[in-house]
Structure 1
Amino acid sequence: MFIPIHDDNPLKVISFQRVTVGLIVTNILVFLWQTSLAPGEIIAADQAFGVVPAALLGGMPDFGNFPEEFALVTYMFLHADVWHLAGNMLFLWVLGDNVEDDLGHLRYLIFYLLCGIAAALLFALLRSESTVPLIGASGATSGLVAAYLLLHPRVKMWAVFVMRIPLYIPAWGVLGGWVAFQFVMVVADPGSPTAWWGHIGGFAAGLILTPFLKRREVPLFGGASRKTDTA
């Protein structure tokens, strides 16, 4: 599996990726809150604020008093452990700044949340009887993978292959390899606790939404754009 570490892709419009940083800080703060809970409270929080497919679609009552529809957003900010958090935040940090630059702050936030919601919905549809809560930002960050592939496929980036081999190759190789891995794992490891179908759902949403939410002057596939003045 490919993990992006750094890209050679400076910002062109915005001066600072404040939504990306805000999302990262929020995820970290929520994780620190999770770690402050007792084991039983952590389970209760995951059930209340995570997406439980059986509660969302299968007629099972919600856990606690928190509506399951709201959990379609809150689940993105919960993580199982520090490595789960770190992996998602790495993707958000490396890819998010340029996608935020290409979409603008508000549309980027909407894009991120919609990709996460789409990921949870697809996963829930395929696991409608499951009572295990879905948590994590992977679905939303999978949408960022799609946007980056559509907008910056030829940008060079540093990545790690199978956790040990450093590579400096175009984004289409790194992120395309990541996408292929998701589909392989859907077939090879269908019972995994990792929500592979959620990743695919977020990625598919990103493919659909990016052409509609990107700035008009930003070309698809890294093509040449016309010169414009941007306030």
Structure 2
Amino acid sequence: MFLPLHDGVPLEHMKTPVVARSLIVVCVLSYLFYAYGPYGEDVMVGGLGLIPSVLLGAEILPEGYPFVPVWLTPITNIFLHGSWFHLIGNMLFLWVFGDNVEDAMGHLRFLVFFLLCGVVASLTHTLVAFYAAGASLPDLFIFPAPHRPLIGASGAVSGVVAAYLILYPRVRIWALFLGGIPLRLPAYWAIGFWFVLQFVSAFFGGDDGVGWFAHLGGFIAGAILIPIMRHRYDPVLARAAAQEMQAPR
């Protein structure tokens, strides 16, 4: 387990990361409506969640579902979360890492980046689920079922994490590890630990209710997109931020 708490890297090109903060607000409001609104959780998941078998046309939902064209569900599922813990975890990652990634891209590019990472994550989950359903695989591996809905911003947030790692690999991050141990480690150690956890959980029997392959797909998308989409990154500032964070306090 890894939960980031603080990085301390100042914004250089904007006062407020408007998009990152707005995404947090939208996700929180969506969860409140999902959990406490009039429709109920099952209805919301069926209406806005991503179901791989439905997206690829192998199954059809009852009339009235989903609430949007099925090709939009790789986006709409991003804004639903299954529990307060699921929501808070994703929003904490977005709060700590999203501001600096948005600072490096600008507002509009960051929004496009976030949504692209989320879509790639959703499609990765979908393709893996369908491949696993038709393949004879050892019991050692646990893959997602194509009929189970996928919800959550984890894949999109994973792309943000990958971008931050590339931008600020040596910045020291305060985070909670392994059930609540506070440590201050360089980003490449902290995020590297997180990535290994995702990889091992995806292939070797993590909780089958978690979209591990969505996390991996979003992370890879973020790593590919950040060199293309960043336009406000100064390596001198990155080194200065790392040195500041490494200085004794």
TM-score over 0.5 for the alignment? yes
Q: Which residue of 2 aligns with 1:44?
A: 43
Distance 1:60 1:175, change over 3 A: same
Match of 1:189 among 189, 201, 205: 205
1:32 aligns with 2:48: no
Distance 1:104 1:187, change over 3 A: same
Q: Which residue of 1 aligns with 2:167?
A: 151
Query: RMSD of aligned C-alpha atoms?
Result: 1.9
Tell me how many residue pairs correspond in the alignment.
223
* Residue aligned with 2:150, SS: coil
CA deviations on 1:176-205 (whole Å, 9 max, x unpaired) are 110111111112215611111000000000
Q: How many Å apart are 1:223 and its aligned residue?
A: 5.5
* Residue aligned with 1:159, SS: strand
Q: Which residue of 1 aligns with 2:217?
A: 201
Q: How many Å apart are 1:157 and its aligned residue?
A: 1.1
Judge which range, 2-11 or 85-94, deviates more: 2-11
Judge which range, 135-144 or 179-188, deviates more: 179-188
Gaps of 5+ in 1: 225-231
Q: Which residue of 1 aligns with 2:54?
A: 55
Query: Which contiguous aligned blocks of 4+ residues in structure 1 show a shift greater than 6 angstroms?
Result: none
CA deviations on 1:6-33 (whole Å, 9 max, x unpaired) are 1020101111111111000000111111
Q: Which residue of 2 aligns with 1:227?
A: none
How far apart are the structure 1 equivalents of 2:44 and 2:204?
Answer: 31
Q: Which residue of 1 aligns with 2:152?
A: 136
How far apart are the structure 2 equivalents of 1:22 and 1:79?
Answer: 16
Q: Which residue of 1 aligns with 2:82?
A: 80
Q: Which residue of 1 aligns with 2:97?
A: 95
Distance 1:209 1:44, change over 3 A: same
Gaps of 5+ in 2: 134-145, 241-249
Q: How many Å apart are 1:57 and its aligned residue?
A: 1.3
Distance 1:223 1:9, change over 3 A: closer
> Identity across aligned pairs (percent)?
43
How far apart are the structure 1 equivalents of 2:40 and 2:202?
Answer: 31
1:126 aligns with 2:139: no
Letter in 2 for 1:179: F
TM-score, L = length of structure 1: 0.91
Letter in 2 for 1:152: Y
